[in-house]
A and B are shown apart, each in its own frame.
Chain A
Amino acid sequence: MAGRGIRTILLVTLVALGSAWPAEAQEAGSEAASESASESASASESASEADAASESASETEADELSEPGPALDLGDEPDPGRAPDPAPAEGLQPGEHPPLPTEPPPVPVPDLDAERESFWGLPRWHIAGVVDLGFLFLRPKFYFAYGTPHETFIALEVDPLISGQGVGAYGGLRGQIPWGSLRVGARYFFTFTRSFLFAMDQFDHLQVRDRSGPPSRYLSLEAQLDLNVPIGPLNIVSEITGTYVTLVEDGLFAFEESLHVILDPPWVWSAMLGLRVRFGDAEEFYIQPSGEVVHLVERNEVVVRVGLRAGVRMWEDLEVRLLAMPAIISPDSLGAAGGDTFLLGIHWRWATDPFDAPSSEEPSEAILGP
């Protein structure tokens, strides 16, 4: 994990250098170009003056030498097999060569900005992941994907689920674009500390941990659509999820670990809407008031959660995040178990095969030419 983090940080460093280097070099190059242009202009002026002086001197010599001497073999004889030499440049006499530049030509700098579209590099096959870690939760995700990591890709997603309540895994397909994502998949969870619940109108935090029923093991089939639409400094954030819970015995209820609700299987859907406000010099801070509705279809009940998400994006791949979404309306009294009541931790993204900036020892094709 640290090795991938180092590669990612190297990417950050290379990108930072790349963002500075072309700007500097372009500025310097343009300055140098203007300087060299002015210098070459002044050099050509002085060269033309020297040419004029030498021309007059040669005319004087020609007048003095009435008989032409033997031709000097300067290799100027045309080679029958060689293409004729191009016509001399304007203003130059045959056999004369343009004056040598006094300064080396400016080195063309590759336009890295054109190539470096994303912090995460160019589209490619890759493995990427996300880790949400805090006190007390660990939620890793793994993507086996093609595209630009974490931006535009299609992936096979695998999420191991490990908590104090049990273990499980999620697997499915995910397609993501900068403005949203769609995922479909299945989640299986095996609970240590809970069992299926006998049907009741209302549950409390003690009854939800009742273990007198059959052990809770269920399969959820899920589909989720996320949208994140930027409007100036704001983002409209929404999330719609449909879930079909199966493998639950008839007549029993189940506590769904990802939605934090007690449901009468099989159907449950949820919708979240938030308004993200970004601020800071690089819009690295954000606050997002949000509301969420969970409809327990078979129980004909709704759970309403209202709260706040906030974060600091310190680097492109690392954020500190806060999530506080307690349930304010619910048929049950589950306390903190009824939602992500207060989560504080880091959100770290990583990907394999970081962007390879051109090496200084190997000039790119842009410099050498095709």
Chain B
Amino acid sequence: MSLRFLGVVLVSVLCWSVVPGRAAAQPATPPALPAPTLPEEPAPLPAAELAPGRAHESLWRDEWGRSGWPNYVMIGSSAVIALGNIIRAADEERPNRGRNDFDEAARDALRLPVEQQRLVIRDFSDGLLTLMTSTPVLFDALILAAWAHADEAAAIEMVFIHAEVIAATLALQTFANVAVSRERPYGRTCGGGGPDDFDEDIFFCNSPDRYYSFFSGHTSQAFASAAVICSFHMNMPLLGDGAQNTVLPCAAGFAVAGMTGLFRMLGDMHYASDVMTGAAVGTAMGFLIPWLLHFNPRHPGEVGVSIIPGPTGVSLTGVF
């Protein structure tokens, strides 16, 4: 979990440091060259310098809210809260081993029978998480917005939006992990003595991570990223105009996020209720934060709204 937090911060910071370099340096149009022998109209860049379909059109509308110091504070405070929760760690002395019929039935139906299979499916879920958390930054912001549309300003905003969502979701998820301290499904196999059971002494059974079942971090981050992808494509013609260019990315994103949650249950890392809660929280954060803080059209003097996670929950602040 701590590595995930570090990765979020590093990706956001580095993309924030790389993309503004391009926004600061690349002019939107080539500067005019003085010489009476030059043609009156500035010549376009050679085709080799342009990406396919590249056009100098602005994706970001003026009425949308741009990132500023309140957003940076939000990202930073969310990261600090997540770090604090990680340091505090789960209550290993009094874990939550509560079970219910729904979760037990789902586990019996989905859990893969062999540990090697569960290992492979857990690795696949890690890969899908990598794909989902990277897509809004690498594909939507960097490739589509900054490169294909030559709109570095919009790309920067998209990176910050994604960082806000990931950081806020991580803060909530780590808080829930520690507050609930629910044992993962495989925990009941620690020290079981069976051929597929784990030794009590191995790291799998002997770390706070054993009690971070509620709610699923992989699922919440994947669904949050899917919702961010959907928000981007709903509000900006990244793939061009047309309903299919909005529906397909949304559908694909949520399909991959759903697979991530399913793989977590197949790998015996989470119960069904953990995954469903993670999906709901991630989806809500992924849609609400971009809309409230950015895509909600505003006029001068209109109210501004901020969502700031706190130690005991989330605060909603409005400025009038």
| A interface residues, Cβ below 8 angstroms from B | 1-2, 5-6, 8-10, 12-13, 16-17, 19-21, 23-25, 28-29, 31-32, 104, 106-107, 131, 133-138, 164, 204-206, 209-211, 280-282, 284, 312, 314-315, 318, 320, 333, 335-336, 341-346, 348, 360
Contacts and interface: CB of A to CB of B under 8 A. Distances in A.
Given A6-B25, A135-B130, A314-B143, A164 B202 contact: no
A280 B120 CA distance: 35
B176 to A, nearest CB: 22
Interface stretch (B9-17, B269-277, B290-298): B9-17
B316 interface: no
A20 B31 CA distance: 11
A6 B49 contact: no
Given A135-B130, A281-B47, A335-B123, A20 B30 contact: yes
B34 interface: yes
Contact of B37 (A28, A133, A136): A28
Contact of B123 (A10, A137, A138, A336): A336
Nearest to B34: A360
Nearest to A8: B21
A204 B204 CA distance: 13
Interface residues of B, number: 59
Contacts of A131: 14
Contacts of B37: 25, 28-29, 31-32, 106-107
Nearest to B47: A281
Interface in B1-60: 2-4, 6-8, 10-11, 14-15, 17-18, 20-22, 24-27, 30-31, 33-39, 43, 45-52
A346 B198 contact: no
Interface string B88-109: 0000000000000000000000
A341 B127 contact: yes
B126 interface: yes
Interchain residue pairs A-B with the least CB separation, the first 7: A5-B21, A9-B25, A136-B7, A28-B37, A342-B127, A336-B123, A314-B147
Interface of B: 2-4, 6-8, 10-11, 14-15, 17-18, 20-22, 24-27, 30-31, 33-39, 43, 45-52, 116, 119-120, 122-123, 126-127, 129-131, 133-134, 138-139, 142-143, 146-147, 198, 202-204
Contacts of A106: 37
Contact of A5 (B18, B50, B52, B126): B18
B51 A9 contact: no
A314 B204 contact: no
A205 B120 CA distance: 11
Contacts of A315: 22, 147
16 contacts: A16-B30, A24-B39, A28-B35, A29-B37, A107-B37, A136-B7, A314-B146, A318-B18, A320-B138, A333-B119, A335-B122, A335-B123, A336-B123, A342-B130, A344-B134, A346-B138
A5 to B, nearest CB: 3
B52 to A, nearest CB: 5
Contact of B131 (A17, A209, A333, A344): A344
A136 B3 contact: yes
Given A20-B45, A209-B202, 18 more contacts: A12-B25, A13-B26, A13-B27, A17-B31, A19-B46, A20-B30, A24-B38, A28-B39, A136-B130, A138-B10, A210-B202, A211-B203, A320-B142, A336-B126, A342-B130, A342-B131, A346-B15, A348-B18
A322 B3 CA distance: 20
B235 to A, nearest CB: 23
A96 to B, nearest CB: 30
Contacts of A32: 37
A249 to B, nearest CB: 22
A315 B51 CA distance: 9
A210 B46 CA distance: 57
Contact of B51 (A1, A314, A318): A314
A282 B49 CA distance: 8
Contact of A314 (B6, B34, B45, B142): B142
B30 A335 contact: no
Given A24-B33, A136-B7, A138-B10, A12 B21 contact: no
A17 B123 contact: no
A194 B146 CA distance: 41
B25 A28 contact: no
Nearest to B146: A314
A14 B138 CA distance: 26
A100 to B, nearest CB: 18
A205 B119 contact: yes
Contacts of A19: 45-46, 49
Nearest to B204: A206
B207 to A, nearest CB: 10
B171 to A, nearest CB: 18
Given A318-B18, A341-B127, A164 B25 contact: no
B279 to A, nearest CB: 20
Given A20-B30, A134-B130, A282 B48 contact: yes
Contacts of B8: 135
A6 B24 contact: yes
A333 to B, nearest CB: 6
Contacts of B198: 206
A20 B48 CA distance: 11
Contacts of B34: 360
Among B7, B45, B47, B146, residue most surrounded by chain A Cβ atoms (within 10 Å): B7
Contacts of B139: 320
A112 to B, nearest CB: 13
A134 B198 CA distance: 32
B51 A16 contact: no
B39 A2 contact: no
Contacts of B130: 134-136, 342-344
Given A24-B43, A28-B37, A1 B17 contact: yes
Contacts of B17: 1-2, 5
A12 B147 CA distance: 14
Contacts of B204: 206
